[in-house]
Structure 1
């Protein structure tokens, strides 16, 4: 793939009753991620899977892994994390490199 993308996917468990406030704060502080010159976009999704109440997935695409890692250790990211941390009761992170893509008919 000529235009490689490094993707980060966070799974976040949000404390019960704090979901709406988490979504609001995520949108407020999201620019600290998307304003980074190596960021290609970011998406917040709420799980609709049964027994996954309060589970959110955050997907963020980056030009490459080194630039994501530089952002990950920056003061900007630390500030961003500090704003979202009070809502979390757990979570995980997966990183991946997109190796192929197919556009759907609706694209």
Structure 2
């Protein structure tokens, strides 16, 4: 069963010693993404295994509207704010097939 949700996952390697600054800039500019009408939410995670590695996950109503945002000036400006902190990165996209709530998330 396809939920219709389009998920984007970015793996970012942040320059040594810049993690705290990166996290603050990401948090302070996150509304650029979450304010998009087609955005369902966004998460920043720090790797527990690799120093300086972060994962950014965002969910979208569909690929078409994510791609429209990706081509926008707002996206270029957002990327520009994060760029000084990263040494490399990669993007993976996917479609959510199932979304099952765990026991701790259920009422």
Q: What's 1:40 paired with? A: 40
Once the two structures are superposed, the pairs formed by residues 55-74 of structure 1 within 5 Å of their partners are 55-74=53-72
**How high is the TM-score relative to the length of structure 2?**
0.95
Measure how far apart 1:101 and its partner are.
Answer: 2.1
**1:104 matched to 2:102:** yes
Whole-Å separation in 2 of the counterparts to 1:14 and 1:89: 6
Deviations 1:50-97 (A, max 9, x none): xx1000000000000000000001000000000000000011000000
Whole-Å separation in 2 of the counterparts to 1:5 and 1:75: 24
Whole-Å separation in 2 of the counterparts to 1:82 and 1:68: 18
Contact 2:2-2:96 within 8 A present in 1 as well: no
Whole-Å separation in 2 of the counterparts to 1:40 and 1:102: 16
Q: What's 1:75 paired with? A: 73
**How high is the TM-score relative to the length of structure 1?**
0.95
Measure how far apart 1:3 and its partner are.
Answer: 4.2
SS at match of 1:106: helix
Task: State the superposition RMSD in angstroms.
Answer: 1.0
Contact 2:3-2:96 within 8 A present in 1 as well: no
SS at match of 2:51: coil
Measure how far apart 1:100 and its partner are.
Answer: 1.1
In structure 1, runs of 5+ residues without a counterpart are none
Number of residues of Structure 1 aligned to a counterpart in Structure 2: 105
Whole-Å separation in 2 of the counterparts to 1:26 and 1:102: 28
Q: What's 1:20 paired with? A: 20
